[in-house]
Structure 1
Amino acid sequence: MNWYSLRVMSGKEEKIKNNIFRELEYEKDIAENVEDILIPTENVVDIKNGKKQVKKKVFFPGYILMKMEMNNETKFFIEGIDGVMSFVGPKGSPQSLNDAEIKRIIGSFDADDDSVEVMEEIPFKVGDSVKVIDGPFKDFNGLIQEINDKNRIKVNVNIFGRPTPIELSFNQILIEN
């Protein structure tokens, strides 16, 4: 069995995966040709109002990976399911993914829960005007000067009329409107 990439409606990957499994329950002979269906996702930490929220984000929006035995019957069955557009490949002939591609894709996430390690999405950029909401500089305003790779932010705040650099974490500041 080989891995194939299936083009589906973006944002509906999980629903379509469930539809495929549901339809396969009624077609046992075709179900024998399908070994696995994956939607690679990652857990992303998003900071809103100073609070961290973990959200699942699809690695490849609009695509599902299927490990299956390809033949005309399985191809037309899968492509006939609502929300499925087509298999990826030249002119209607599905192209299997090579081993190096699969190892790179599957190796980057945990196959048990289809998700990779938590990555923090940076909601700030250099030059943003921010307000400190926590710590000894609470209620001070300033400008972001630097964002380092340790998820710390250097902000210049005015203390006694002079710009003073302070280092803060993401959850200690909010973007000013």
Structure 2
Amino acid sequence: MPTKIKKTKPKTKSKVRKSSPEHIIISKADSKKARWFVVHTYSGHEHKVAQQLKQRVESMGLEDKVLELLVPTQEKIEIRSGQKKKVKEKIFPGYLLIKMVLTDQSWLTVRTTNGITGFVGVGNQPTPISNKEVEAIQKFMKMEAPKFKTKFSVGEAVRIIDGPFADFLGSVEEIDEAKGKVKVLVSIFGRETPVELDFLQVSKI
């Protein structure tokens, strides 16, 4: 009797989460007690604070208590000296998200890290945010189409530097970061007329 050869199903690869400067994974332990909390940091020092906290957690052996650190950022296109450049802009400047099991020791470790000024919560009690909120933030971070980072504001006086209306002065009426467009009100024949332009065609006065 010929022996039947059993067909083995190919193993499906599990998704491996990797750390990045924006999302630091200290431990992949799946603790049911872990919740996401938010702390205040010095604005502009979010990444530095996250790295310092990671080092403290590892040196104190608290990897089972502080699991992940998240600095929410979004990719945008910035106009510099007439050139387009991709940059990562912080969605919530001055804030750091931490997935942790809240204990006296983990609270103290986080709270006494240089650059962290306190937990977001009621009084001295840190208030966790929902997983739904964190998932929404992470999806927003992964959006592929980068938005343009504008240096203009609505109502601001600007000069048109390129195109048919070069050297005209006007004021910003609308800004479309997704398309990198700005609508400028230009005085033509004694009346204000809206003109849609690229960010590259407009400069501050």
TM bucket normalised to smaller: 0.7 to 0.9
Contact 2:57 2:109 (8 Å CA) reproduced: no
SS in 1 for 2:89: strand
Structure 1: runs of 5 or more not aligned:
none
Give a deviation string over 1:111-153, Cα, whole Å, max 9, x none: xxxx8752223426467342333x4x38543435854745254
Task: Tell me which of 10, 14, 27 is aligned to 2:47.
Answer: 14
Letter in 2 for 1:27: M
Instruction: Give the number of the structure whose alpha-carbon radius of gyration is greater.
Output: 2
**1:27-74 CA-partner distances (Å, limit 9, x unpaired):** 12x122122100001223333443333332211122110111111111
**In structure 2, do the counterparts of structure 1 residues 124 and 12 end up closer, same or farther at CA, with 3 Å as the change threshold?**
closer
User: Which secondary structure state, in structure 1, belongs to the residue aligned with residue 141 of structure 2?
Assistant: coil
Distance 2:123 2:175 in 1: 46
1:40 maps to which of 60, 67, 72: 72
Aligned partner of 1:53: which letter?
K
| Letter of the structure 1 residue corresponding to residue 98 of structure 2 | M
Query: What does 1:137-152 correspond to in 2, within 5 Å?
Result: 137=164, 139-143=166-170, 147=174, 149=176, 150=179, 151=181
> Contact 1:140–1:157 at 8 Å: present in 2 too?
no
Which structure ranks higher in relative contact order (CA pairs < 8 Å, sequence separation ≥ 6)? 1
Higher helix share: 1
* Closer/same/farther in 2, CA of residues 158 and 43 from structure 1, 3 Å limit: same
Deviates further, 54-63 or 115-124 = 115-124
Unaligned runs of 5+ in 2: 1-33
Structure 2 Cα separation of the partners of residues 129 and 77 of structure 1: 49
Structure 1 residues 35 and 155, CA, compared in 2 at 3 Å: closer, same or farther?
A: same
The residue matched to 2:74 in structure 1 has which SS? Answer: strand
Q: Are the aligned partners of 1:132 and 1:140 in contact in 2 as well (CA < 8 Å)? A: yes
- Could you tell me the TM-score, scaled by structure 1's length? 0.74
- Answer yes or no: is the 8 Å Cα contact 1:50–1:170 preserved in 2: no
Residue 13 of structure 1 aligns with an amino acid whose one-letter code is: E
CA offsets, 1:66-96, max 9 Å, x none? 1111111111111111111222222222211
Q: How many residue pairs align between the two structures?
A: 168
Q: Is the 8 A contact 2:183 2:194 kept in 1?
A: no
Q: Secondary structure at the match of 1:35?
A: strand
Residues 72-111 of structure 1 mapped to structure 2, 5 A cutoff: 72-110=104-142
Task: Name the % identity.
Answer: 23
Give the aligned partner of residue 128 of structure 1.
157
Residue 147 of structure 2 corresponds to which residue in structure 1?
A: 119
Judge which range, 50-59 or 119-128, deviates more: 119-128
Q: CA RMSD in A?
A: 3.2
Q: TM-score, normalised by structure 2?
A: 0.65
